[in-house]
Amino acid sequence: MCDQALSLSDIAGSRLPLIEHAPAATVIVDAEGRIQLVNAQTEHLFGYYREELIGKPVELLIPARYHSRHVGERRSYYTDPRVRPMGVGLELYGLRKNGSEFPVEISLSPVVTRDGTFVASAIRDVTERKAFERQLQELNAELETANRAKDDFLASMSHELRTPLNAIIGFTGTLLMKLPGPLNDEQERQLGIVQSSARHLLSLINDILDLAKIESGKMELHFETVPVKEVVKDVAASLAALASEKGLEFTSSVSEDGESAVTDRRALRQILLNLTNNAIKYTENGSVRVDVRGITWNDRPAIVVRVIDTGVGIRPEDRQRLFEAFEQLEPLHTRRSEGTGLGLYLCRNLATRLGGALKMTSEYGSGSTFTLFLPKVH
C-alpha cells in the first residue's frame, strides 16, 4: 500500500523503482477500470507502449469473452479491497497487442492515495508453468495406463506362473513318495533337485508379485482372530527339515497371552516364514528359536514375536540398508544363498500394514534377533 501523502500523479511521475522494475507486469486502474499507470514489464509482456494504455479500459488486456465477467468482478473488488489473488480456481488469460493470448496469474492490491483508492494488478505470464503442468498431467495419465496394464499383467501372471509350478511341485512330490512305483537313487536325487528348484522359483515369483501389490496399494488384508500358536506351529513344521539338514537346534514357544491376535493370517505367516527361513539360512551352527508372548506396546495389548539365531550376525554398516528392496548383504560372488533381496522389505511393509512394526538387533559374529510387534486388536 502506498503512502497516503502521495497522489497517483506523484507515483506516476517518479516512476517508483519498486513498481517500475518489478518482475511482474503492474497495472494500476481507477474505480472505473481505466488504466492510470503501468510499468516497463507491462510494455514488454503485452507489446504496448505505456502511452497506448494510459486512460484505456483495463479490459483492453483481456480476451473479449471475459469482458462482461471482469467488469462485475472489478466492481465487487472495491467493496472489499485487500491483497488477494484474482479468479481463484479459474483459468485466466491476457491479450497482447498482436491478438495472441497467454495464461496469466494475477494478484490484486489496493493503492490508497490522496486522489482515492486504486487497484494494482501484478500480472505474471505462466505459459511455461502451464505447459509443464500439462506435461505432468499427460505423464500421469500415461503412468496410470501403464499401471493398469501392469496390474492386469501381474494378475494374469499370478495365475499363469503359479499354476504350472504348483503342478510341477505336486507331481514331483508324488514321485518322491514312490506312489507310482520305486525310484533308483539317481532318479530320487534328480527329482529332489527339481522339487527344490520349483519351490525356490515359486517363492521368488510370490515375492515379486507381493511387492507389486504392496507398492500399488492393492495388497488386500483380511483381519480376523488368528490363532498365532497354530501359525507358529505351521511355520515350524515347514522349516524343521531345513534346520535339521544343517544340524541346528530349532525350537518355538508361545505363551498363553500370545496365542491369538486380530490380524491377517496370510500376512503374519509370510512374515514369520521369511524371518525364520532367513535365520536358518544364515546360521551354520547353534540354534534358531521363535518366541511369542503378550506385551503392552504403545499403550495397547500386543504380541511380540522374536526370531533369535546364533548366526553370522549383521555388520553395523550394513544395518541401514537391511530392509531396503532388492538388497542382499553378501556380494554376488560369495553369496551362500539365493533370493531376491525382497524378504525383509516385504516383512517390514506387511508389519506396518498390520499396524505393527519390525525391528532388528544384532551383534556381528554372534547372531541376530528380529522382533515383530503386532497389536492384538486391529
Each residue's pLDDT tens digit, 21-36: 788 999 999 988 899 9
| Same domain? 40 vs 180 | no
Inside any domain, residue 248: yes
* C-alpha closest to that of 303 among 286, 291, 287: 291
Residue 91: its pLDDT value, please? 84
| Same domain? 42 vs 94 | yes
Inside any domain, residue 2: no
Look at the chain and report how many structural domains it folds into: 3
**Residues 304, 375: Cα–Cα separation, whole Å:** 9
Q: Is the pLDDT of residue 338 over 80?
A: no
- Mean pLDDT across 152-164: 72
Q: Which domain holds residue 13?
A: 8-125
Inside any domain, residue 3: no
For residue 24, give the CATH number of its domain.
3.30.450.20
Q: Which of 175, 192, 219 is the last residue of a domain?
A: 219
Residue 1: its pLDDT value, please? 45
Phi, psi (deg, nearest 5) at residue 373: -100, 130
| Same domain? 212 vs 233 | no
For the chain, what is the mean pLDDT? 84
Q: Is the pLDDT of residue 124 over 90?
A: yes
Q: Is the pLDDT of residue 332 over 50?
A: no
| Same domain? 156 vs 23 | no
Question: Residue 287 in 3-state DSSP?
Answer: strand
CB 270 within 8 A of CB 235: no
- Higher pLDDT among residues 115 and 51, named by residue: 51
**Residues 292, 311: Cα–Cα separation, whole Å:** 20
| Same domain? 370 vs 248 | yes
Residue 199: its pLDDT value, please? 76
| Same domain? 343 vs 253 | yes
* C-alpha closest to that of 275 among 229, 246, 238, 221: 238
Inside any domain, residue 26: yes
Q: Is the dihedral of CA 74, 76, 82, 87 positive or negative?
A: negative
Q: Which of 77, 96, 125 is the last residue of a domain?
A: 125
| Same domain? 214 vs 229 | no
Q: Which of 108, 125, 142 is the last residue of a domain?
A: 125
| Same domain? 265 vs 177 | no
- Higher pLDDT among residues 39 and 86, named by residue: 39
Residue 95: its pLDDT value, please? 95
pTM of the model: 0.54
| Same domain? 73 vs 152 | no
- Higher pLDDT among residues 150 and 330, named by residue: 150
- Mean pLDDT across 252-263: 92
**Residues 124, 104: Cα–Cα separation, whole Å:** 5
Residue 7: its pLDDT value, please? 63
Q: Is the pLDDT of residue 248 over 80?
A: yes
Helix residue ranges, H only, the chain: 8-14, 17-20, 40-46, 50-53, 67-77, 127-176, 185-215, 228-245, 265-281, 343-353
| Same domain? 234 vs 158 | no
Q: Is the pLDDT of residue 232 over 50?
A: yes
| Same domain? 267 vs 281 | yes
Inside any domain, residue 141: yes
pLDDT tens digits along 43-60: 999 999 999 999 999 999
